[in-house]
Every structure is written in C-alpha cells, then in structure tokens.
Amino acid sequence: MSVVDILDNELRKTQTYKPKERKCIYPLDLNENLVIPKELLQEIIIEAAKEIDPRTYPAKERREAEEALARVHNVDPEQIVLFNGADDAIDTLLNLASQANPGKATVLALKPSFTIYRTRTLAKGLNYIESKIDRDTLKPDLRDLTEKASMSELIFFDIPNNPTGTIPLDRVEIEEIIEKARGIVAIDEVYAQYIAEGWESIDLVKKYDNAATIRSFSKSYGLAGMRIGYIVSSGRLASILKRSTLPFHMNKLALRLIVKVLERNDIFKKYIDEVIDLRDYMYRKLTEINPLKVYRSYTNFLLLDAGKHHSEILKKAHENGYCIREFRGVFDEDDKYIRITVPPSRETVDGLIDVVKQAVG
C-alpha cells in the first residue's frame, strides 16, 4: 500500500469537521458575535494594516501582542503563547500529548464538550475518553472524572461548556483535578467574557505547571474570521508550547489586531454586555413557550430541548432563513437538542421567537 493509501484509509475512520457555506439570512449556528458592528472591526483592521510592513517577518508584532495580553492577565509575556484561533491551540496541545506518549496517549473531556476535542484526538490516532455531565444536575461525577483524569495525558474542560452553555465544574473542583492529574489540564475559556459575574482561571496557571487556559478573539471580540487565540500557562509549559509551534506561524495583521483591539477594550466590553442582555432576553422569551426547556447559559448561545417539537422548529427556522444547529446525543445516545447563537438585535430575537411559536403551534 502506498503512503497516500495508508493515510487515506486511516483518516477515513475519523470524522473531520467540514465547514459548510451557509445559506441563511440569520447565521445563528456557529456562536459568532454579530452584535459588534462589522464597520467598527473593518476600521480597526484597516488601521492595523497601515501599521504593518507585510514584507518582513512578524517578530516585533508577536512580542508586542504577547506583552499586551500579558498586561491584561497580569502575567509575564513569556507565559502567553499565540495561536491561529483556539482550535490551533487545542491541536498543539494534542500534539504535545501525543509526544508525551506516542500513539498511546489518552485525552479526556466531559460529555458533552466542544466536538473538536474528539475529532482532532481521533484524527491523531489517540485515545479519547469522556466523563459524562448529568442531564439534570449538569455536573459530572467527580469520582469518575478524577479517576479518568489520573490516566490521561491531556484533559479539556470547556468552561462554560459548549453545547450546554453551563459551568459544569467550579474552580475548586478544577483545582483538585489539576493537583491530582499527571497530564496537562486545559481550561478552554473562549466564552469566559460572557459569564456576567466574571470568571478567571489565570491564577491556577500561575500556581500549577500543568494548567493551561485557552482564550480566543472569535467569540467576544467578533473576530472569528481573523483566527486569533492564545494560551496562558506557567512559564515552563509556555516554553514547551513555544518550542512546538513554528516561529512565524501567526500573521502580522492578526498580531497587530490583538494590540489594537485591546486598546479599545471599553468599546468591546459594551458590546459584550449587549450580547449578555440579548441572551437573557432570548432566554426569557423562549422559557415562556411551553413546553420548551432552555438551559441557563453563560455564553453567547442557548441550548434548547424542544421535545416533540424539535423537527418542526428546525424546519420552520430553516424555511425562514435562520441557521440554528441541531445536536444529537448530547447527554445520551438518542437525545436531540437545538443550539441557538444570540442574534444581533431584539428584532431578530423576536422574529425567531415568532417562528418557534408557529412551530410549537
């Protein structure tokens, strides 16, 4: 068999995420932030573009971006590692797990979790194990989790969780797992800015060598298309991560944008608060519709259990131009849920609510 045949066979076994071109008026399926005006972001991108020389490699821009993020988190710039989105950070952590135990490494995540953890783990030929979140308590069984954590090279916790939008573990529970784990514990906080009460795991990475916090500019800063993510970790783990990434893997424009966006933090904070208001408005409106069950969310999306109205809601939403996302097997094999990103305005929320009401009858 040729190497191409071997690879083709091997990768056929793994599901990869294939981005689809969406045909909808209201794209509410990928948790993008459409509240931030496109024109504001374009203006910042143009300013950033004028400040860079694209002919030269991005060394200074990388250092400046690391310094700006270090100031935000009150850490040393050496503790910041930049990536092309949180996905790239996740993938790099998986490469490290694989290096720690070639071909045999085990990766643990909660069930449900962000699907990329599973698909990328399997694509790399590693073992993927899960610890279930209970449908009613929305918590995992801590004993099961701790036991599985002790045999894993890498553990992902998305806090808040995607797709539930909830916080399955508190900081004390996470800290206990970090203490007992021999592997790296990655706390994926791409939605952290939507936890109105504030949430920070950064002090954990200051304390533990094996803890890493993943952040992104996709969800709160409306820059999913620019692919900006980063990890904050101990200096030791950050140095390992830096050694395992290419020296110039981030482009200059994205690096410069990090600095420009952080300079305008107050404006972005205003839009984050607006998303939180819209989310809570949509939550109230959906919970008024009997018999829908809506999960309280700490993100920019809501998870909905529509029971027997599931298919009709999806159908009607689709017919009316709303892209919303179906999830199957969230807690158990046969269950069905719908995840809806917070729309950009109250009018869009109201329009969607009308469609849902029609579907429920």
Ligand X SMILES: Cc1ncc(COP(=O)(O)O)c(C=O)c1O
**Which listed range, 85-93, 94-102, 289-297, 353-361, lies at the site for ligand X (CB under 6 A)?**
85-93
Are 154 and 96 in contact by the 8 Å Cβ rule? The answer is yes
Tell whether residue 190 is a contact of ligand X (CB under 6 A). yes
Pick the binder of ligand X from 216, 300, 341, 348 (CB under 6 A): 216
Can you tell me the distance from the alpha carbon of 106 to that of 129, in angstroms, rounded to the nearest whole number? 7
Pick the binder of ligand X from 72, 224, 353, 360 (CB under 6 A): 224
Least Å distance, CB 60 to ligand X, is 24
**What count of other Cβ atoms lies within 10 Å of the Cβ of residue 294?**
21
Can you tell me the distance from the alpha carbon of 102 to that of 109, in angstroms, rounded to the nearest whole number? 19
Of 188 and 305, the one with the shorter C-beta distance to ligand X is 188
Pick the binder of ligand X from 82, 92, 114, 118 (CB under 6 A): 114
Tell whether residue 162 is a contact of ligand X (CB under 6 A). yes
**Which listed range, 81-89, 92-100, 132-140, 343-351, lies at the site for ligand X (CB under 6 A)?**
81-89
CA angle 230, 233, 234 (to 5 degrees): 150
Least Å distance, CB 272 to ligand X, is 16
**Which listed range, 34-42, 136-144, 204-212, 216-224, lies at the site for ligand X (CB under 6 A)?**
216-224
Pick the binder of ligand X from 26, 28, 29, 31 (CB under 6 A): 31
User: CA neighbours within 13 Å on the CB side: how many for 237?
Assistant: 25
Of 152 and 341, the one with the shorter C-beta distance to ligand X is 341
Within 8 A by CB and 6+ apart from 314, the residues are 324, 326, 338
Which one-letter DSSP state was computed for residue 133? B
Pick the binder of ligand X from 66, 158, 175, 305 (CB under 6 A): 158
Tell whether residue 87 is a contact of ligand X (CB under 6 A). yes
Cis peptide before 37 (omega within 30 of 0): no
Can you tell me the distance from the alpha carbon of 104 to that of 113, in angstroms, rounded to the nearest whole number? 22
| Nearest Cα to Cα of residue 313 among 349, 350, 360, 347 | 360
Are 85 and 228 in contact by the 8 Å Cβ rule? The answer is yes
Pick the binder of ligand X from 58, 85, 165, 343 (CB under 6 A): 85
Query: Coil, strand, or helix at residue 157?
Result: strand
Closest-approach residue to ligand X (CB): 85
- The residues in 239-258 that bind ligand X, with binding defined as CB under 6 A, are none
Of 33 and 348, the one with the shorter C-beta distance to ligand X is 33
